Structure 1
Amino acid sequence: MIFITLGSQKFQFNRLLQAVDELIEKGVIDDEVFAQVGYSDYEPKHFEYKQFLDREEFAAQEGKCNILITHGGTGAIIGAVKKGKKVIAVPRLAKYDEHVDDHQLQLIAQFKGQNLICGLEDASELEEGLKFVKEHDFDEYQSNTKTIIDSIERFIEG
């Protein structure tokens, strides 16, 4: 099952939803697909969706999926990789009024460089991304929270 989550910020990401619809129509995607579409106004034709999910609904959809497709939001990416999900991240871009700037390109590049996700630069690469995640083994996410806390404690202790 593929779960698409587009976050809760007030930006649309119609381009990504349209790309998924097109791949389903072409028969490239034959998995069940469910999307949390957020503020997008594109209405998917070939998969189920809901504008927003509560925590329980989100956890249920994420739990069922083996592939998670998302925007370049840190929270969505980290949440999924912590659960061992195969993640495809596509950046929201300012030129399409999907965000105020293109910082998601850098975030995605960082996660991709650590072999944690399949990071794409554009929704047009989605077909290749789906093939890649089905064959690729990603590294396990390692939290650095303890390292940061230890560093802060050492600083405070002087």
Structure 2
Amino acid sequence: MIFLTVGTHEPFDRLVRSVDGWCAATGRGAEMFGQITDHAGYRPSHFEAVASLEPAEYRRRFAMADFVISHAGMGSIITALSMQKPIVILPRRGHLRETRNDHQFATMERFAGRPGIFAARDEHELPGLLAGAADGDATEMGKLSQFGDGQLIEALRTFIQGPAAKG
């Protein structure tokens, strides 16, 4: 199963339309399920979608997915990493009035290149990334620890305690 989520606050018609086109072109619509908000203007015709999901059903769908497609929201990215789910992200853009600014684009740039994260700069890159995720190109994915990265923890420890005394 492939799970598309666009969050709950804003529609993301550009992403939904692109995924719908990919489903039409590849015949993978039967594998796709989307959560697209009740504010969406575009309704997909090649896969099943609902406006919202109860939290337990959302987690169940996320857990069942072979990979996830999402806006570049931190909640979706962190959930995918913690569940070891490959995720294809497309950021909402401020200049397209999909969100208030380009914070999602900055998030996408920060996470691009990490194992299991397929980051599309725009909808034109999306079909190739979806094909890669569907073909299992994210097998090297590591699990997100509930603790920080080892280098970050050490840097914070050094900052708080000060450098070790030379002896």
User: Is there any run of 5+ residues in structure 2 with no aligned partner, and where?
Assistant: 162-167
Q: Secondary structure at the match of 1:68?
A: strand
Count of residue pairs the alignment pairs up: 151
Counterparts of residues 1-158 of structure 1 (less than 5 Å) = 1-9=1-9, 11-27=10-26, 29=28, 32-38=31-37, 39-133=39-133, 134-136=136-138, 137-145=140-148, 147=153
TM-score normalised by structure 1 residue count? 0.84
Percent identity over the alignment is 27
User: Is there any run of 5+ residues in structure 1 with no aligned partner, and where?
Assistant: none
Alpha-carbon distance in structure 2 between the residues aligned to 1:49 and 1:125: 23
Alpha-carbon distance in structure 1 between the residues aligned to 2:123 and 2:79: 21
| Counterpart AA for 2:144 | Y
Q: Structure 1 residue 41: deviation in Å?
A: 1.9
Alpha-carbon distance in structure 1 between the residues aligned to 2:121 and 2:28: 20
Distance change (3 Å), C-alpha of 1:128 and 1:28:
farther
Alpha-carbon distance in structure 2 between the residues aligned to 1:18 and 1:115: 26
Whose helix fraction is larger, Structure 1's or Structure 2's? 1
Structure with greater Cα Rg:
2
TM-score normalised by structure 2 residue count? 0.80
